[in-house]
Amino acid sequence: MSTLVKVARYHLVQPYQYLIVPWGILAFAFAVSLATIAMTPSGHAAALTLHGLSPVAKVRYTGSLSSFFIFFFVLGVQSIGRSLPFGLALGVSRRSFYAGTALLAAVLACASGLVFAGLQAIEVATDGWGTRMGFFRVPYLLAGPWYLTWLSSFVGLTLLYVYGMWFGIAYRRWGLLGTIAFIAAQVTALLATGALVSVAHGWTGVGRFFTHLTAAGLTGLLAVLAVALLAGGQATIRRATV
Amino acid sequence: MRPAISVTGLTRRYRDHVALEEVSAQIEEGSICGLLGRNGAGKTTLLRILAGQEFPSSGVVRVLGAPPAENEDVLRRMVFIREDQAYPDFKVGHALRAASWFYPNWDGELAGQLMADFGLRPNKAIKRLSRGMRSALGIAIGIAARADVTLFDEPYAGLDAVARQIFYDRLLADYAERPRTILLSTHLIDEAAALFERVVVIDRGRVVLDAAADGLRGVATTVSGPVLAVDDFTTGRPVWNRRRLGSQASVVTVGQLDEAARAKARALGLDLVPLTLQQLVVHAAGWPGAPETANLEGVSA
């Protein structure tokens, strides 16, 4: 068994956190959304019916799927904060721990994306679970064919997990003040980019770029960002101590 | 024999203090070595560097012939059990199962036996364990891993005397069956003294004593009796500590006493009591006004 697979199994030896909690959160979010939608008749539809017009079938989006994505970020943070010290005590190198953990995240993100795509298909077929709810459909982001839903979810989940890992590593290596500086550096980099665009009078171009960006294009961009974050975390964990 | 652990000029500086300063030591393969010293002396930092968990500021570290940091060929042959080990959200059984995957020589039967000895239940959450039980878990992993290099940092904090005896017995029994290099840091020196073939004492980040345990027996002696007789006996001998109570005096002399010296002491009506390892360590490290370690240099093997 390769060390990377052992590291992935190490995270799953207590399956609760990775295999049960996220789906529990999702099921709860789904139940709450469904109950809320069922109890609140669409205002538009009611008004239209009142005026003798036939209501247009309008999907009501909840956005609650984001809870699952946010939890992946939390898992990424905890993979370092809670699991790294004992991992190193078991004689794993930082390099292998990092790669094995990222591998686990990618596999879980890939599988979760497939589940989302399947549930999205059911959602479409049942007209939003009989309530026109858009839970597994998100305008623009998850609104295409099944394979794009799968790919975008896969990339998005991996990105958030990897970003969380980098936060966990930054905290372990530099402490609270260092983590604040880490956040400040990111904000500063964003502002600096914005300032550069302003100086170059490039906002029109940027606006055009984003208005023409498809969901698939955005997924590609996020994939590039995920790889960059992965490299950043890799560089930071090299000198992390426990 | 080639050294299993070798450090040369090892220094670890933190922003406000020096944890290790120019530490050099070699520990032979197949021996049990005690790493002794006061709180904050640098024992844990040294062990963390050996285990690749911390990085040296300067100096050379070799474990099993190679630098340990990020070196999996070395790391997988080494186990490091520390007092303050942080565990994930695991139950006892999870930690043992994970350990069994990573150590090539893992002995599951032995792990089970140790669990039974200590009364550890696999379905108990680690964060709910008492301090002593957490230590017991570390000990079970450390012994059952059967790693070529086994590092224990204060492994039995919070353990009762019976459980500590179990630890010594099991460790020695398994060591006899499968010799390996064991480096053990502890405060309970006299209790563990019988285990050690070698002791390394560090104080304020420096090695102050590095000697074979055998060579330390009788290396210093407390001489007590009437003041005049004690003075007569100790004249010309290196002395560590002199105490006087009325007409009685008690003096610690350094150096082995030959038969002639013993005969003289008997004739003078003096009591001779050899210093225990613990007393030696107290003198070598940290005891206010302790003499320079030069006195012990002749002892170091």
Please give the average per-residue pLDDT across A74-95, as a whole number: 95
**Residue pLDDT, tens place only, A67-82:** 999 999 999 999 999 9
**pLDDT bracket for residue B300 (50, 70, 90):** very low
Hey, is the C-beta of B99 within 8 angstroms of any chain A C-beta? yes
Is A70 within a domain?
yes
Contacts of A88 in chain B (CB under 8 A): 51-53
Calculate ∠ Cα A235-A93-A74, nearest 5°: 65
Chain A interface residues facing chain B, Cβ-Cβ under 8 Å? 1, 3, 6, 9-10, 13-14, 16-17, 82-83, 85-86, 88-96, 238-239, 241-242
Domain of residue A89: give its range. 3-237
* Residue B295 in this model has a pLDDT that exceeds 70: no
Contacts of B94 in chain A (CB under 8 A): 13-14
What percent of chain B is predicted at pLDDT more than 90?
70
The overall average pLDDT reported for chain A is: 92
* Closest C-alpha to B183, from B1, B13, B6: B6
Is A169 within a domain?
yes
Is A33 within a domain?
yes
What percent of chain B is predicted at pLDDT more than 70?
94
pTM of the model: 0.89
Residue B46, pLDDT score:
96
Q: For residue B88, give the nearest of A3, A82, A239 by CB distance.
A: A82
- Total domains in chain A come to 1
Please give the average per-residue pLDDT across A130-136, as a whole number: 91
Q: Distance between CA atoms of B24 and B19, rounded to whole angstroms? A: 14
Say yes or no for a CB contact (<8 Å) between A92 and B86: no
Q: Which CATH class, in words, describes the domain spanning B3-212?
A: alpha beta
Residue A100 C-alpha, separation from nearest chain B C-alpha, in angstroms: 13
Is A122 within a domain?
yes
- Give B289's contacts (C-beta < 8 A, 6+ positions apart): none
Say yes or no for a CB contact (<8 Å) between B79 and A242: no
Lowest mean pLDDT among A97-111, B151-165, B232-246: B232-246
**Residue pLDDT, tens place only, B186-223:** 988 888 888 999 999 998 899 988 989 888 888 889 99
**pLDDT bracket for residue B40 (50, 70, 90):** confident
**Residue pLDDT, tens place only, B49-103:** 999 999 999 999 999 999 999 999 999 999 999 988 999 999 999 999 999 999 9
Residue B298, pLDDT score:
44
Residue B145 C-alpha, separation from nearest chain A C-alpha, in angstroms: 9
Q: Distance between CA atoms of A75 and B66, rounded to whole angstroms? A: 35
Q: Distance between CA atoms of A20 and A155, rounded to whole angstroms? A: 21
Secondary structure E strands in B69-219: 78-82, 149-153, 181-185, 198-203, 206-212
Hey, is the C-beta of B102 within 8 angstroms of any chain A C-beta? yes
Say yes or no for a CB contact (<8 Å) between B101 and A9: yes
Residue B294, pLDDT score:
38
Please give the average per-residue pLDDT across A38-52, as a whole number: 64
Alpha-helix residue ranges (DSSP H) falling in B5-124: 43-50, 72-75, 92-102, 108-118
Q: For residue A91, give the nearest of B90, B94, B102 by CB distance.
A: B102
Please tell me which residue, B218 or A153, carries the higher pLDDT value. A153
Please give the average per-residue pLDDT across B138-160, as a whole number: 94
CATH architecture of the domain with residue range B216-297? 2-Layer Sandwich (3.30)
Start and end residues for every CATH 3.40.50.300 domain found in chain B? 3-212
Place of tokens 């669990």: B115
Is A242 within a domain?
no
Instruction: Look up residue B100 and give its two tokens.
Output: 């069994």
* Residue B107 in this model has a pLDDT that exceeds 90: yes
Say yes or no for a CB contact (<8 Å) between B70 and A93: yes
**Residue pLDDT, tens place only, B243-278:** 888 899 999 988 888 899 999 999 999 999 998 888
* Residue A29 in this model has a pLDDT that exceeds 70: yes
Say yes or no for a CB contact (<8 Å) between A85 and B85: yes
Residue A55, pLDDT score:
54
What b/e sequence results for B183-214 when a residue is b if at least 16 CB atoms lie within 10 Å of its CB, and e otherwise?
A: bbbbbebeebbebbebbbbbbbbbbbbbbbbe
* Residue A57 in this model has a pLDDT that exceeds 80: no
Contacts of A242 in chain B (CB under 8 A): 48, 53, 86
Is A116 within a domain?
yes
Start and end residues for every CATH 3.30.70 domain found in chain B? 216-297
Hey, is the C-beta of B88 within 8 angstroms of any chain A C-beta? yes
Residue B240, pLDDT score:
82
Residue B80 C-alpha, separation from nearest chain A C-alpha, in angstroms: 6
Distances in whole angstroms, Cα of residue A159 to Cα of each of A70, A123, A163: 11, 25, 6
Q: For residue B72, give the nearest of A9, A17, A96 by CB distance.
A: A96
Reported ipTM: 0.87
Instruction: Find the closest chain B residue to A84 by CA distance.
Output: B88
**Residue pLDDT, tens place only, A168-211:** 999 999 999 999 999 999 999 999 999 999 999 999 999 999 88
Residue B49 C-alpha, separation from nearest chain A C-alpha, in angstroms: 10
The overall average pLDDT reported for chain B is: 90
* Residue B180 in this model has a pLDDT that exceeds 70: yes
* Residue A46 in this model has a pLDDT that exceeds 60: no
**pLDDT bracket for residue B297 (50, 70, 90):** very low
